[in-house]
Amino acid sequence: MKTAVVQEPPVFMNRQASMERAVELVARAAKDGAELIVFPEAWFPGYPTFVWRLAPGAGMGKTDELFALLQANSIDRSRGEMEPLQEAARENSIVIVAGYNELDGAVSGSTLYNACVTIDADGSILNNHRKLMPTNPERMVWGFGDGAGLNVVETAVGRIGALICWENYMPLARYAMYAQNIDIYLAPTWDSGDTWLATMQHIAREGGCWVIGCATAIEVADIPETVPYYDELFPNQDEWINPGDAVVYKPFGGVAAGPMHQEKGILFCDIDVAQAAASRRKFDVTGHYARPDVFRLSVDKQPKPPVVAAA
C-alpha cells in the first residue's frame, strides 16, 4: 500500500484557498497510486506560528487580531466545511488524515480546537480527535480536547490512529493507541529536527506499528504579506519557518522513507500493513508484555460538552 505525506504549505490563513490546494494534492497523490494521504498539524488554514513570535502580554492585542483572522478561516464541520475534502476522498478512493483548526459551531461558535480528522476512502468521517493539551502559548488559541477522539479506526487501508504533536510525548495517550490493535500511527505535528525524529523512531519500536510524522514545510515566502503584523512576525525573508521533516518508520524501528528536510512536495512510501501485528511477537506493550496485575490504564472516552439539554 502506498502512502503519501504532504509537505506542501497551505495558503496561510485562507480556508477556501487551502481547501482547493488540498483537493489538488489529494488528486495528485491518488494519481501516483497512493491509498492514504496525511496532512500535518493545523494545515487548514495554517499553524498559528504567531503565538511563538509575539511577546506575551505586550502582543495580546495583536494576538486578538490574528486570532480573529484564524477563527474566520477555521473549519466548522457543522456547516459542511469539511465536505470538499470528503468528496476528494470519495472521488479518488483514498483515505485522508488531516490536521486542522476546528471551530465548534455546534456549541459556542467561538472556541477553536487543534483537531485531526480521519476520512475513509468512501468519504465518511471515521474519527475526529481534538488535541488534549495545547502546548504553552498555543493555549491562547486552542481549547482543550477530550477523550472522545482517542480512537484507532478501521479504514480501507488498515487500522489508523493519530495523536497531534506533543501528545506523542504523553505515555498514557500513546498506550491508549497501542491498546487498539493499531497498524498505522500518525503524528501530524509542528515539531521537527533530530529530537522529534528520535521520538518517531521510539514510537515505532514501542508500539510495533508504522509511524508517519509530518510537519508543514513552509518558508516566509509562503506567507501572504497581507497577514497582520507581517514585518514584525517575519523579518527574515530567507527563513524556513518549518523544515517539514516528513518521515515514515517501520514497525519496531528503521526508516522507511525520509526525512524530507527543507523540501516541498509529497513523500511517498510503500508499506506492508501486516508487518505491524507480526512485529509485536517480540514485544507487545499492551499484550503479552503488559502486566495488568501491576499496571492498569483507565481512559474516559465520553464527550464533555459544556451544555447538556434535558429531555
CATH number of the domain that residue 74 is part of? 3.60.110.10
Domains contained in the chain, number = 1
* pLDDT (tens place) for every residue of the chain, 311 residues total: 999 999 999 999 999 999 999 999 999 999 999 999 999 999 999 999 999 999 877 678 999 999 999 999 999 999 999 999 999 999 999 999 999 999 998 888 999 999 999 999 999 999 999 999 999 999 999 999 999 999 999 999 999 999 999 999 999 999 999 999 999 999 999 999 999 999 999 999 999 999 999 999 999 999 999 999 999 999 999 999 999 999 999 999 899 999 999 999 999 999 999 999 999 999 999 999 999 999 999 999 999 888 888 87
Whether pTM exceeds 0.85: yes
pLDDT at position 305 is 86
Q: Is residue 204 part of a domain?
A: yes
Q: Is residue 198 part of a domain?
A: yes
Among residues 165, 209, 214, 269, the one annotated as catalytic is 165
Among residues 8, 35, 41, 138, the one annotated as catalytic is 41
Q: Which range marks the domain in which residue 198 is found?
A: 2-279
41 in active site: yes
Among residues 131, 206, 209, 269, the one annotated as catalytic is 131
131 in active site: yes
Q: Is residue 302 part of a domain?
A: no
Q: Is residue 86 part of a domain?
A: yes
What is the residue-wise DSSP string for the chain?
-EEEEEE----TT-HHHHHHHHHHHHHHHHHTTEEEEE--TTTBT---GGGGTS-TTTTHHHHHHHHHHHHHTSB-GGGTTTHHHHHHHHHHT-EEEEEEEEE-TTTTS--EEEEEEEE-TTS-EEEEEE-SS--GGGGGTB----GGG---EEETTEEEEE--GGGGG-HHHHHHHHTT--SEEEEE-S--SHHHHHHHHHHHHHHTSEEEEE---EEGGGS-TTSTTHHHH---TT-EEE-EEEEEE-TTS-EEEEEEES--EEEEEE--TTHHHHHTTS--TTTTT--TTT-----------S-----
